[in-house]
Structure 1
Amino acid sequence: MVGTGLEARFGRRTVFSGVDIVVEPGVPTGVLGPSGSGKTTLLRIVAGLTEPSAGRVDRPQLPAGRIGMLAQNPRQVSNPRWTLRRILAEPAAIGRRPCDIEATADRVGLDTALLDRFPAQVSDGQLQRACLGRLLVQAPSFVLCDEPTSMLDPVSARAVVAILQHLVEDGAGLMLVSHNRRLVERRCGRIVELGAS
């Protein structure tokens, strides 16, 4: 995916302008910037969820569901009425394909005893692992992450980063939005930095 000359305006306020970004297989792209600089807006533009005020994004022709997202707050993107098992298995159900839920849970470090619990019955870290498992089941070509470790304890954060690294090694494109400069500089081969607005 290639974004060229991207601009985001809200009313009279220009959040960012003239931003170029490339997200390609096997090369993690990081996005840094202070709060309010438009990092999440840029991610939404690249994902196709928000239209840019100017510029364009060229996306490869992908089957539905091949762009996956990992949110900062897993509770905002998880149905509270679904068990972790159903959350994790959702992409397989949509695609009508088999999935070994227990094996996927094990891969992301989620205790299989938690699979029949609801989001309110588990920690943020455990729920984020379920969301990460859902991402693996989805098998996306591109993964867009918005502060995926900011709410997690160090052990959970390392587990999330390791799985994302494995996805990149398997050929996925990765866009990582974070306040964590050390994480981005260590993990990303390409970095876009947005300034304060």
Structure 2
Amino acid sequence: MLELHDITAGYDRKAPVLHNASLTVAPGEAVGLLGPSGCGKSTLARVAALLHRPDSGTFLLDGEPVRRWRHRAPRTHRTAFGVVFQQPRLSADPRLRLTDLIAEPLRANGRRAEIPHLVADLATSVGLTPDLLGRRPHEVSDGQLQRACLARALVLRPRWLICDEMTAMLDASTTAALVAAVEDYRAATGAGLLAVGHDQLLLNRWCDRTLRWDDLATVAKALPDQPIR
């Protein structure tokens, strides 16, 4: 179970971008988070993915408190999450070929021997043809690069997927293909999903339930607010 209770977070303690936000995602569940641009939903997604330390609140992962974020988090926590961001060109190293982009997490976790077959399998699952794998980001379209970023997010077989406006910059056919790839992965692994976006129709079709940003303070169990230590 992924549980965020009364999370306050931002990039300046004097002016946090979200206050007392709460949500839960059960194993295997797909939860949509709907809200307008600038409301703080991406910051909450980064907290949920262990990429941003909140100022206060409670984060429980499988019933255990989470106390460390980013590189300080235990490897078992870091590898439990796969994240896909809205803008693939900002989240991809422009020097890397797509095959190396997908393989980044494997190298970082000492699993180089698995690269050849895992990269090939994932490339196929997200709709990347072999000729694209040798290209660099500037040589492919946004949709093709986002497919590679999705493959990178799946390569360690995470138990939780965080998709932050994953399809916001893509056409309808690419959006459908990426959502299908995520759902195929979830069907095979039982992974939970937090999908952040502002397209209510997409989130309603994709997710088991969709939460409106304004309602977050009332959807989770009430726990006392406490600073992250």
**TM, length-normalised to structure 2:** 0.78
SS of structure 1 residue aligned to 2:155:
helix
- Matched with 2:87 is 73
For residue 14 of structure 1, report the CA deviation from its aligned partner. 5.2
Percent of aligned pairs with the same residue?
38
**Separation of aligned partners in 1, 2:131 and 2:120:** 10
AA at the equivalent of 2:24: V
**Separation of aligned partners in 2, 1:36 and 1:157:** 22
Match of 2:103 among 81, 89, 95: 89
Match of 1:42 among 28, 41, 44: 44
- Aligned ranges for residues 138-177 of structure 1 at < 5 Å? 138-169=156-187, 170-177=189-196
Structure 2: unaligned runs, 5 residues or longer: 65-74, 215-229
AA at the equivalent of 2:56: A
Match of 2:153 among 135, 139, 160: 135
Distance 1:11 1:93, change over 3 A: closer
Are residues 1:3 and 2:4 paired? yes
For residue 192 of structure 1, report the CA deviation from its aligned partner. 2.5
- Matched with 1:33 is 35
SS of structure 2 residue aligned to 1:107:
helix
For residue 171 of structure 1, report the CA deviation from its aligned partner. 0.7
For residue 19 of structure 1, report the CA deviation from its aligned partner. 2.1
AA at the equivalent of 1:179: H
For residue 93 of structure 1, report the CA deviation from its aligned partner. 2.4
For residue 42 of structure 1, report the CA deviation from its aligned partner. 0.7
Distance 1:92 1:49, change over 3 A: closer
CA contact (8 A) 1:27 1:168 kept: no
**Separation of aligned partners in 2, 1:19 and 1:188:** 20
AA at the equivalent of 1:121: E
- Matched with 1:22 is 24
Task: For residues 14-49 of structure 1, give each alpha carbon's deviation from its aligned partner in whole angstroms, at most 9, with x where no partner exists.
Answer: 543332211222101111111111110111111222
**Separation of aligned partners in 1, 2:210 and 2:200:** 10
- Matched with 1:102 is 120
- Aligned ranges for residues 113-128 of structure 1 at < 5 Å? 113-128=131-146
AA at the equivalent of 1:59: L
Number of equivalenced pairs: 196
AA at the equivalent of 2:61: R
**Separation of aligned partners in 2, 1:20 and 1:80:** 36
Structure 1: unaligned runs, 5 residues or longer: none
Please tell me the root mean square deviation across aligned C-alpha atoms, in Å: 2.0
CA contact (8 A) 1:70 1:144 kept: yes
**Separation of aligned partners in 1, 2:135 and 2:51:** 30
Distance 1:173 1:16, change over 3 A: same
